[in-house]
Amino acid sequence: MKVVVVDTECANLTSVCFALERLGYVPTVTDKAELIRAADRVILPGVGTARAAMRNIQRKQLVETLQQLTQPVLGICLGMQLLTESSSEGDVDCLGVIPTQTRRLQADGLPLPHMGWNQLQQRTDTPLLKGLDAAAYCYFVHSFAVPVDSYTIASSHYGEDFAAMIQHQNFYGAQFHPERSGSVGATILKNFLESEYVDTRA
């Protein structure tokens, strides 16, 4: 299987690659459109700001490439937010492949960023959470979040409910860092890499 990690220059690529290697995969880190299109699975990681990440994606001429992918794509942390239509972090347009928005987390007086372990609440049946029990905890570091809506497949709570995982067609997002979430994160990555995706788009 060809697994590509997209190099946006806004991510800790080493930790993501180590997590994939522990599962027995040899990922390719690249910003080459032809390699991204040829992959069986694509991972879009990210840390930092949406504006900086989108600026890099635009500079690398990868916007249309990423938007047009038909294989399973997983956005991690900022990478998940980049899959949405827009982010209030800098009022920037994102890739728009999942029709929802990213906004500042309303933490009800709790400190931001939301940093540490938090529990997932599965909201719909998804192969990415196969094999996990109801007490699954993952590691989060973020100040912006996607609200819970029809694209939310798992949520978490920090001052308010927010989307911990989202999906639309072949695009998936995880607000947490699966590569830093122990056995739970490893299971989610393994499920993403090994679950069969059926393209139901007309």
Report the C-alpha gap between 106 and 108 in whole angstroms.
Answer: 6
Asked whether the beta carbons of 117 and 137 are under 8 A apart, the reply is: yes
* Contacts with 64 (C-beta within 8 Å, 6 or more apart), sequence order: none
Which residues are annotated as catalytic? 77, 177, 179
3 state SS of 177 = coil
How many whole angstroms from its chain centre is CA 159? 21
What are the DSSP calls for 32-55, one per residue? Answer: -HHHHHT-SEEEE---S-HHHHHH
Tokens of 135: 């007490």
* Contacts with 194 (C-beta within 8 Å, 6 or more apart), sequence order: none
